[in-house]
Amino acid sequence: MDLIPLIHMKNRKIHAEKTEISVPLKEFLKKVDEEKKIYILDLDGIEKDKPNLCTYQRLSDAYELWVDFGPRNIGDIVDATMAGATDITLRRNLCPQLNISDIRELSENKIYSNIDFAEELSYNDADGLVNFNTREELEANFKHSGLFKGTTLKRKIYSYESDPKNCSYWKRFGVEGLLVDINKLKEFNNGL
């Protein structure tokens, strides 16, 4: 199972465990080997449509970037690609009209979609899926749990997780990898 370090960005700063980090970004990323993939959960882009493109550009020299910034149109995808993103997560609620086949005409980036059980789970055109539903949320709804399990048989799924004790749970589902807060990466590496 892959472990991909996840960085939360909000107000142009790194956030971890609901607190703002004042350490420079490059210093903070010393926990991750260069050339490794990192997942940037850009809340400025998702919530305000103001992605941290300059940060992507600075990081793309040293890291492979998977960005989740809430693109609303094809131009947003082009901007992120030009800034150095190699993988992009779409949030269907922010871009329901965006067609992945149109994106593929412009970019060779891998395109993922977030799992939203409020919508129909038909993501056949995406390279994979990203799950931000917790274990408790899946277990609370048998229908969602069944849909999730069935989807892992057909699609690559990466799931966000903050507790290393839940790794075996996600392994049973057959997820491809976990998105782990960068400050908890050591805990996960020691636990696997």
Q: Could you tell me the CATH number of the domain that includes residue 167?
A: 3.20.20.70
Structure tokens at 89: 């997560």
Amino acid at 106: L
For position 120, what pLDDT does the model report?
A: 56
What is the span of the domain harbouring residue 179?
2-191
What is the reported pTM?
Answer: 0.89
Pairing of strands 157-161, 19-20: unpaired
Mean pLDDT of all residues in 25-37: 73
pLDDT band at 95 (very low <50, low <70, confident <90, very high): confident
For 100-156, write each residue's pLDDT tens digit: 888 988 888 999 999 877 665 556 688 999 999 899 998 898 888 888 888 888 889
Does the pLDDT value for residue 78 go beyond 90?
yes
Mean pLDDT of all residues in 42-53: 96
For position 152, what pLDDT does the model report?
A: 82
**For 63, what's the count of Cα atoms within 13 Å in the CB-facing half-sphere?**
26
Does the pLDDT value for residue 70 go beyond 90?
yes
Q: How many domains are there within the chain?
A: 1
Does the pLDDT value for residue 18 go beyond 80?
no
For position 99, what pLDDT does the model report?
A: 85
